[in-house]
A and B are shown apart, each in its own frame.
Chain A
Amino acid sequence: AQSVTQPDIHITVSEGASLELRCNYSYGATPYLFWYVQSPGQGLQLLLKYFSGDTLVQGIKGFEAEFKRSQSSFNLRKPSVHWSDAAEYFCAVITSGTYKYIFGTGTRLKVLA
């Protein structure tokens, strides 16, 4: 069965530091992959997506993610974190044929001033 793993439940970084959030998936074919962000008390907002082509994708708010097929990973990165990036981040994959998302359990990011 398809699955998405986000191994880090909580991450704390200082403002201005770089960030990498990990996402691993289990999926037989080439997946469609997404990163969403959820600010406190809000719904989910799409950060970026990967369907095919260039394995390094750029998203909103200065985020990027790299698809690595050999590692079954789709890690999210940002060179310099801002205090407003404090939120929960979800990785998701679309399942074949049904177009239903499978979400990871999320990584909560805390940013220190």
Chain B
Amino acid sequence: NAGVTQTPKFQVLKTGQSMTLQCAQDMNHNSMYWYRQDPGMGLRLIYYSASEGTTDKGEVPNGYNVSRLNKREFSLRLESAAPSQTSVYFCASSEQGAKNIQYFGAGTRLSVL
């Protein structure tokens, strides 16, 4: 049982390039999330999808777009990467509901030069 799988694990981009971070979960969870982690700032929510077919902005959505492709997959796209988007990105999933426990992927380390 793989849990939450993120690809790629590492990526280096040049300013202005685009890329998509992939996330897939095999736990049949309804809700999925994208976070970024920066030193001294903890994890900040970029976008989330409460259920298949819905997406909502989180705390720091600017410069990102998301697609909930199906119940398993939730992708994060950077259309024109900027150095400020250098970060570690985590995908998570959970059962839908108030007491959700989120399960995290291993992260994608992105550097934008």
- Contacts of B101 on A, CB cut-off 8 Å? 34, 46, 49
Contact status A44-B50, CB under 8 Å:
no
Q: A32-B99, A99-B31, A99-B98 are in contact. Are A44 and B41 (CB under 8 A)?
A: no
With beta carbons under 8 angstroms apart, the residue of A99, A104, A106 that contacts B100 is A99
Query: Interface residues of B: mostly helix, strand, loop or mixed?
Result: loop
What 0/1 readout, one digit per residue, does chain B (48-79) give for beta carbons within 8 Å of chain A? Answer: 10100000001000000000000000000000
Contact status A106-B97, CB under 8 Å:
no
- Contacts of A99 on B, CB cut-off 8 Å? 31, 50, 94, 96-98, 100
Contact status B48-A44, CB under 8 Å:
no
Interface centre among A36, A44, A46, A51 (most CB of B within 10 A): A44
- Contacts of B100 on A, CB cut-off 8 Å? 94, 99
Interface size class of B (residues with CB under 8 A): 20 to 34
Interface size class of A (residues with CB under 8 A): 20 to 34
A99 to B99, CA, bound (A): 8
Contact status B42-A32, CB under 8 Å:
no
Chain A residues in the interface with B (C-beta under 8 A): 9, 32, 34, 36, 41-46, 49, 51, 90, 94, 99-101, 103-106
